[in-house]
């Protein structure tokens, strides 16, 4: 788990060795949180389980906001020290992202290694990344996270340097101990590596854009599956398209977007599976996965998949988290359908209740296939509602376009004229835009563009 930092943060490795418990299985985590109300640490527990760490206890301090220096207050820390001994815990897991200062102080106060929510999520991502792009993205996120910690460490050592200062005393030459210059070198290396990673990601993104361009050439309407981790997105993709994307009851199983085509009512669509979201998604990850998340922004329709078998409050919170990430990546206004998945896990009363609370939601089960025909119809409707009548004039030299149009529009009327083939068809609005340059008129407004 804490290998997170060493796996990619090469430069910080030697100094962090002391805090790395040996071997995953032997990690016994004690969970802590500063919460305003409630004491639900089940998600943190789930994250730890996914990361292969055992949970041996938990405690919550109710406070408006975490203590700026030590995360928990003095009294609570005292209590926690005893609890850690009792539970024989060898690592403390915090349900928040800690500032470098909080992390350092907490470790010192508890004399136990501390891992925060962000580092746990980064570690899971590191373990689940398979594609070259995914690995680069995770490494970038980890380095950014580590860089902030190095800065923290640096100020700490600087203080030490000042204490053990040379003849000059005070700040100045005397503070320039080997620790500081080493860390400066480390930080420079980390920054260089970050720049190199960004450049490589740009290149990979270039090839993704090429792929997208190819897809655009196919001019197919695209649907993206989005939602909280473990909601069932990959299961649904597999069910609808016969793909074989890995599915597991663990968090962040899918990191690489998979796109498959499927047919609905004579039209071809593209369906994309995406990385799951989570509450307090580390901002480093949002940035690092920007290119991947862009798939979401470019989709014509989003299917927001939720686990309808989750308790009401949790479900609401997960939906809010998804909303907020969608907003962050600029996909907040995309057309969206709410998919209430895992209907098979609900009894009649629960079905009724969840449907009452979310009247627009479509109750389905990706596992049993229940509700999928209705979902297909609904998707078709969504696109149909935005179908536009277009009239195009395709020059004879562009015969390929005609074949494409047949594929997308299914039925179309054609008439051969002196200048080319005149085509009347119904196209999804987004697709119609891609044919704008051939338009004779759109929606019968008589505007001649050719
Ligand atoms: N009972 C039930 N379980 C389901 C259903 N759909 C998915 N699951 C289970 O939910 C778990 C997560 O499914 P995935 O398809 O991997 O979820 P995901 O949204 O792709 O998750 P990430 O890739 O982590 O974001 C698996 O254990 C699935 O078997 C469903 O309709 N009913
Ligand atoms: Mg998945």
- Tens-place pLDDT, residues 199-216: 988 887 777 666 666 665
Confidence band for 311, pLDDT divided at 50, 70 and 90: very high
Q: Which helix (H) or strand (E) holds 217?
A: helix 178-218
Whether pLDDT at 351 is above 90: yes
Whether pLDDT at 158 is above 70: no
* Least confident range of 161-175, 264-278, 300-314: 161-175
* Ligand 1 neighbourhood includes 53 CB (under 6 angstroms): no
Cα gap 81→204, rounded to integer Å: 47
Residues 229 and 327 in one domain: yes
CA distances from 432 to 221, 335, 373, 380, 395 (A): 10, 17, 26, 16, 17
* Least confident range of 133-137, 179-183, 269-273, 320-324: 179-183
175 or 239, higher pLDDT: 239
Residues 380 and 258 in one domain: yes
Distance 327 CA to ligand 2 centre (A): 21
46 or 150, higher pLDDT: 46
Distance 229 CA to ligand 2 centre (A): 7
- The reply to whether 276 falls in a domain is yes
What is the pLDDT averaged over residues 25-29? 80
CATH code of 88's domain: 3.40.50.11060
The response to whether 255 counts as a known ligand-binding position is yes
* Least confident range of 215-224, 255-264, 265-274, 299-308: 215-224
Q: What is the mean pLDDT of the chain?
A: 80
The response to whether 344 counts as a known ligand-binding position is yes
* Ligand 1 neighbourhood includes 308 CB (under 6 angstroms): no
β pairing state of 362-363 and 222-227: unpaired
* Least confident range of 114-118, 280-284, 330-334: 280-284
Q: Which of 104, 128, 152 marks a domain boundary?
A: 128
- The reply to whether 211 falls in a domain is no
- The reply to whether 274 falls in a domain is yes
* Ligand 1 neighbourhood includes 146 CB (under 6 angstroms): no
- The reply to whether 215 falls in a domain is no
Structural domains of the chain, count: 4
What is the pLDDT averaged over residues 27-37? 92
Q: Which of 209, 218, 213 is CA-nearest to residue 270?
A: 218
Structure confidence at residue 291 (pLDDT): 66
Distance 425 CA to ligand 2 centre (A): 36
Q: Determine the atom of ligand 1 nearest the C-alpha atom of 273.
A: 20
- The reply to whether 421 falls in a domain is yes
Residues 317 and 423 in one domain: no
Whether pLDDT at 61 is above 50: yes
Whether pLDDT at 150 is above 90: no
What proportion of the chain, given as a percentage, has pLDDT over 70?
80
Q: Which of 95, 128, 161 marks a domain boundary?
A: 128
Residues 399 and 373 in one domain: no
Residues 231 and 181 in one domain: no
Residues 115 and 138 in one domain: no
Structure confidence at residue 447 (pLDDT): 43
Residues 328 and 346 in one domain: yes
Whether pLDDT at 287 is above 50: yes
> 């069910």: which residue's tokens?
239
Residues 190 and 334 in one domain: no
Could you tell me which residues come within 8 angstroms of residue 131 by beta carbon, excluding any fewer than 6 positions away? Answer: 255, 256
What is the pLDDT averaged over residues 3-27? 40
Residues 161 and 294 in one domain: no
Structure confidence at residue 12 (pLDDT): 33
CATH code of 355's domain: 3.40.50.300
> 């902030």: which residue's tokens?
148
**Nearest protein Cα to ligand 1, atom 3:** 342
Structure confidence at residue 255 (pLDDT): 65
Residues 228 and 346 in one domain: yes
Residues 251 and 366 in one domain: yes
435 or 115, higher pLDDT: 115
Residues 42 and 108 in one domain: yes
What is the pLDDT averaged over residues 347-365? 96
- The reply to whether 209 falls in a domain is no
Q: Which of 110, 128, 146 marks a domain boundary?
A: 128
- The reply to whether 207 falls in a domain is no
Q: Are 301 and 334 in contact (CB under 8 A)?
A: yes
The model's pTM: 0.74
Distance 142 CA to ligand 2 centre (A): 22
Structure confidence at residue 400 (pLDDT): 79
Distance 301 CA to ligand 2 centre (A): 18
- Token code pair at residue 52: 């292969």
Alpha helix ranges (H) inside 278-428: 283-288, 290-298, 312-328, 348-357, 372-385, 399-409
Ligand (nearest to CA of 276): 1
CATH code of 431's domain: 3.30.70.240
- The reply to whether 193 falls in a domain is yes
Whether pLDDT at 116 is above 80: yes
* Ligand 1 neighbourhood includes 254 CB (under 6 angstroms): yes
Domain extent at residue 137: 132-202
* Ligand 1 neighbourhood includes 276 CB (under 6 angstroms): yes
């Amino acid at each position: 788990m804490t290998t997170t930092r060493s796996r990619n943060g090469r430069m910080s490795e030697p100094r962090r060795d002391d805090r790395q418990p040996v071997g995953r299985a032997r990690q016994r985590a004690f969970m802590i949180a500063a919460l305003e109300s409630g004491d639900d640490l089940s998600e943190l527990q789930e994250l730890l389980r996914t990361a292969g760490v055992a949970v041996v206890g938990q405690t919550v301090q109710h406070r408006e906001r975490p203590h700026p220096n030590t995360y928990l207050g003095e009294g609570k820390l005292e209590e926690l020290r005893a609890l850690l001994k009792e539970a024989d815990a060898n690592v403390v897991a915090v349900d928040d992202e800690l500032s470098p200062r909080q992390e350092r102080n907490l470790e010192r106060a508890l004399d136990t290694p501390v891992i925060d929510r962000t580092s746990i999520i980064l570690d899971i991502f590191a373990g689940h990344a398979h594609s070259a792009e995914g690995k680069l993205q995770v490494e970038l996120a980890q380095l950014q996270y580590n860089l902030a910690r190095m800065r923290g460490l640096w100020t700490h050592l600087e203080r030490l340097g000042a204490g053990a200062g040379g003849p000059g005393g005070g700040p100045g030459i005397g503070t320039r101990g080997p620790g500081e210059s080493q860390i400066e070198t480390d930080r420079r290396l980390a920054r260089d590596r970050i720049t190199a990673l960004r450049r490589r990601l740009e290149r990979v993104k270039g090839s993704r854009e090429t792929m997208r361009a190819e897809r655009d050439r196919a001019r197919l309407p695209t649907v993206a599956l989005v939602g909280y981790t473990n909601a069932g997105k990959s299961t649904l993709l597999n069910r609808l398209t016969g793909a074989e994307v890995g599915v597991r009851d663990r968090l962040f199983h899918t990191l690489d977007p998979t796109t498959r085509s499927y047919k609905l009512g004579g039209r071809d669509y593209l369906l994309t599976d995406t990385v799951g979201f989570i509450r307090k998604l580390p901002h480093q990850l949002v940035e690092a996965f920007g290119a991947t998340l862009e798939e979401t922004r470019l989709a014509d329709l989003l299917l927001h998949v939720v686990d309808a078998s989750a308790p009401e409050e949790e479900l609401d919170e997960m939906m809010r988290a998804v909303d907020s990430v969608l907003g962050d990546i600029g996909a907040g206004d995309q057309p969206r359908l709410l998919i209430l998945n895992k209907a098979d896990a609900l009894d009649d009363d629960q079905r009724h209740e969840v449907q009452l609370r979310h009247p627009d939601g479509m109750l389905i089960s990706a596992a049993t296939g229940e509700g999928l025909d209705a979902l297909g119809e609904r998707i078709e409707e969504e696109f149909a509602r935005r179908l536009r009548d277009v009239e195009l004039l395709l020059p004879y030299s562009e015969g390929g376009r005609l074949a494409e149009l047949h594929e997308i529009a299914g039925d179309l009327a054609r008439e051969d004229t002196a200048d080319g083939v005149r085509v009347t068809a119904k196209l999804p609005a987004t697709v119609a835009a891609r044919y704008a340059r051939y338009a004779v008129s759109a929606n019968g407004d008589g505007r001649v563009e050719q």
